[in-house]
Amino acid sequence: MRILISADMEGATGTVLPDDVIAGTARYHQALRLLVGDVNAAVAGFAAAGADQIVVNDSHCGMANLPLAELDPRAELVVGRHKPLGMMELIDSGVDAVAMIGYHMGAGRPGVLAHTCLSHTILDVRVDGRQVDEGGFNALVAAEAGVPVVLVTGDDVLCAAASDWAPRARTVAVKRALSRHSAVCRPPAATAADIATAAQQAAALAGAGPGAPAPHTVEVDVDYPYLAVRAGSVPGVRVVAERTVEFDAPDAATALRTFGIVVGVLSSGREPDWT
């Protein structure tokens, strides 16, 4: 049994503020310890269920956050940038299940630190007309690779939403959202115990099968027209409204790669704050 853990940070135990997830701040180092606790709890649970190989993909921001020395030695770490599939790197390597640890709600939605790839700029993302967050987009990629999503952790809003795109997955709500930057947080000892138990149970859902790749149309809403124009410079991306671009892809993995390029163009082209 090979397990892939995709570890984001905004949905980790105790994270509620931007400084919790921005490298270099005092709160970031504290939050990082909590994320490591969530990840190691998942590793422990999957290992207890008999997993032969567990790979953790650092999936937050620059994707170089998790300290290798503090990772449970039963796991390996994929760290660094420029991964073709980003948060889903290695989903196509023959893994039997994927766990999404520390995930969060998408742009324009309720939930702690809700956003889609960029903290601002992107207002909504739709695949085939259906609103998706990072988890939903990644789950589509996993499904076409024949890999089930078996575990999801984050705030209570994210866990409820996951029932739509990962209906069989075990979920663990590590905090109850009050606003974008506040939550009722459970202590790490409690969340770690629940994550470990859920991971051990979730292992029974593992089992890669044949995927069914299909073409998709992705729409991205941005907060200013000039950003839509900029994103439209990417080959294959069309400006379809003042603040909306769209593109077609033959499968979910290609859609995710193209979306990553659009995100990069939007990020580099956003004007600095001037008021």
Any idea which residues carry the catalytic annotation?
Answer: 115
Q: What is the C-alpha separation between 44 and 49, in angstroms, rounded?
A: 9
82 assigned to a ligand binding site: no
- Residues in the chain, total: 275
60 assigned to a ligand binding site: yes
Cα separations in angstroms, 266 against 193, 227, 228, 261: 39, 6, 8, 9
8 assigned to a ligand binding site: yes
Q: Mark residue 259 as left, alpha or beta (left: phi above 0; alpha: psi -120 to 50; beta: remaining).
A: alpha
Question: Which structure tokens are listed for 263?
Answer: 């995100």
10 assigned to a ligand binding site: yes
Residues 6+ apart with CB under 8 A from 83: 57, 63, 89
b/e per residue 20-50 (b: at least 16 CB within 10 A): bbeeeeebbeebbebbbbbbbbbbbbbbebe
52 assigned to a ligand binding site: no
Q: What is the C-alpha separation between 101 and 113, in angstroms, rounded?
A: 15
* Numbered residues of the known binding site for Zn(2+): 8, 10, 60, 104, 134
